[in-house]
Amino acid sequence: MSTELDTIQTPEKKAHAHNWQRPLYDVSENDDAFIVRVSLPGVNRDGVDISLEEDTLTVIGTRTSQVPEGWRPLRRELTTGDFRLSLRLNVPVNEAKIKASVENGVLDLSLPKADEVKPRKIKIS
Amino acid sequence: MKLIRYAYPQSQASSAFNRLFDLGAPTIERFGSIFDDLLGAEAGFHQPAVDLYEDDQNFYARFELPGVNRDTVDLELENAVLTIRSQEETKEKSEVSRTSFERSISVPDGVELEKVSAEMKDGILTVAMPKAEARKPRQISIN
């Protein structure tokens, strides 16, 4: 009986293995770079994983501050899943110079524009 | 008659970026962002989400406050109502942006007011509210 139950439950567990949510984010732009701010509450710098594959930028935030064992919930509004955000970049960026910092649960990403898309000043001679 | 689910309008800026960058992944956003969308993000008004927990010694409130500077946060506990307030001004070049929020939640009675403590880490504020002696579970021995 117990083995039968096991076989039924196992695939379901696998399907729910990871609970992702898309974080809130902002994108802004200045002359030199695109600035992406991603809200990752409960994630410190060790929990952030950033990758750029072709034109897809993926940010994964794994929660580093968990609710301690033994706390019984009285009311829950917060989501508990880890964060995953994929952004497709439609402009070339200078991959080598991407900078990232994490502070107070917010990831600041600076994606420098590739030279060919920077605005060019034209001098009048 | 048909019932059609009302889709909250998004601010122009965010929908533009969704068009640019969206991969069609489902969005799970905090309830607070609905207010941003209704009032316009310029209103800078949202309510932080909160979890309430307890263990044998304490009640705990956990607020998600990503990007909020701890110095701008005011906490107040009065008559079993915990109020959190924040107002922040950031100046960037010639632009000044203000962010403010306020949220009040009711917490159970019987908190030792003098011993309430709060800690901010990675954008999560945890308020620990110790239970008064009378509220703690007690082992009763049978003679």
| Exposure letters B12-40 (e unless 16+ CB within 10 A, then b) | eebeebeeebeeeeeeebbebbebbbeee
**Binary contact (A104, B29; C-beta < 8 A):** no
Tell me what pLDDT residue A81 has. Answer: 84
Tell me what pLDDT residue B90 has. Answer: 76
The fold of B47-135 is Immunoglobulin-like (2.60.40)
Tell me what pLDDT residue A11 has. Answer: 47
Q: In a mutagenesis test of the A interface, which of B18, B21, B55 is the best target, namely the one with the most A β-carbons within 10 Å?
A: B21
DSSP class of A116: G
Give the up-direction half-sphere exposure of residue B25: CA atoms within 13 A in the CB hemisphere. 18
Which ranges constitute the DSSP H helices of chain B?
12-21, 32-39
What ipTM did this prediction achieve? 0.72
Domain boundaries, chain A: 18-66+78-113
Residue B129 CA to residue B62 CA, distance in Å, equals 11
Taking every pair of Cα atoms in chain A, the longest distance, rounded to a whole number of angstroms, is 89
**pLDDT class for B21, splitting at 50, 70, 90?**
very low
- Give the whole-number percent of chain B exceeding pLDDT 90: 13
Whether B10 shows a pLDDT value over 50: the answer reads: no
Give the up-direction half-sphere exposure of residue A38: CA atoms within 13 A in the CB hemisphere. 29
pLDDT digits (tens, 9 = 90+) for B96-107: 777 788 888 888
CATH placement of domain A18-66+78-113: 2.60.40.790
Tell me what pLDDT residue B25 has. Answer: 36
Whether A86 shows a pLDDT value over 90: the answer reads: yes
Q: Are B122 and A44 in contact (CB under 8 A)?
A: yes
Identify all chain B residues contacting A22, using CB atoms and an 8 Å cutoff. Answer: 25-29
Nearest to B66 among A64, A89, A106 (CB): A106
The helix/strand/coil state of B122 is coil
**Binary contact (A77, B50; C-beta < 8 A):** yes
Q: Are B46 and B106 in contact (CB under 8 A)?
A: no
Tell me what pLDDT residue B87 has. Answer: 84
Quick one: tokens of A121?
């000043």
Domain boundaries, chain B: 1-43, 47-135
Q: Which residue has the higher pLDDT, B118 or B34?
A: B118
Q: Are B103 and B83 in contact (CB under 8 A)?
A: yes
Identify all chain A residues contacting B54, using CB atoms and an 8 Å cutoff. Answer: 71-72, 74
